[in-house]
């Protein structure tokens, strides 16, 4: 495993831990860090998060994560002990939401097919 991939994995684990255990902002809903994309020079990290629940619709979670970005980066710097801590950008990951949508559509098609067979 390349160094960049190892760092991505550690960043994902640490940011997940920070969001779940360190942040006390009530605006932050149920957040899952789904993946991290680190630039080749390790100076920029895109943190993809999935948000479930009512915070999903009003976007307050992303505003709160944006406010906490400096704090999260400082804690990350303490834990990573790298020469440079990457600048972090939070991005919405809609893959879980899309998977749920596709699953529902498949179930609907199965029910429709079953209903048509019975007729």
Over range 2-15, report the average pLDDT: 93
Q: How many CB atoms lie within 10 A of CB 53?
A: 10
Over range 64-68, report the average pLDDT: 92
Mean pLDDT of the chain: 87
72 — pLDDT class (breaks 50, 70, 90):
very high
Q: How far apart are CA 72 and CA 33, in angstroms?
A: 13
58 — pLDDT class (breaks 50, 70, 90):
low
Q: How far apart are CA 101 and CA 99, in angstroms?
A: 5
Domains and CATH numbers, the chain: 3-93 (3.30.300.20)
Q: Model pTM? A: 0.77
40 — pLDDT class (breaks 50, 70, 90):
very high
Of 15, 87, 81, 93, nearest in space to 52 by CA:
93
Q: Rounded to the nearest 10 degrees, how much is the dihedral formed by the CA atoms of 38, 40, 44, 46?
A: -30
């Amino acid at each position: 495993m390349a160094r960049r991939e190892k760092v991505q994995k550690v960043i994902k684990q640490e940011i997940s831990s920070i969001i779940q255990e360190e942040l006390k902002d009530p605006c932050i809903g149920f957040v899952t860090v789904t993946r991290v994309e680190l630039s080749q020079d390790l100076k920029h990290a895109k943190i993809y998060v999935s948000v479930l629940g009512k915070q999903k619709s009003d976007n307050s979670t992303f505003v709160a994560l944006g406010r906490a970005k400096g704090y999260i980066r400082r804690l990350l710097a303490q834990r990573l002990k790298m020469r440079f801590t990457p600048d972090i950008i939070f991005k919405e990951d809609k893959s879980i939401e899309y998977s749920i949508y596709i699953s529902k559509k498949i179930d609907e098609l199965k029910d429709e097919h079953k209903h048509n067979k019975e007729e």
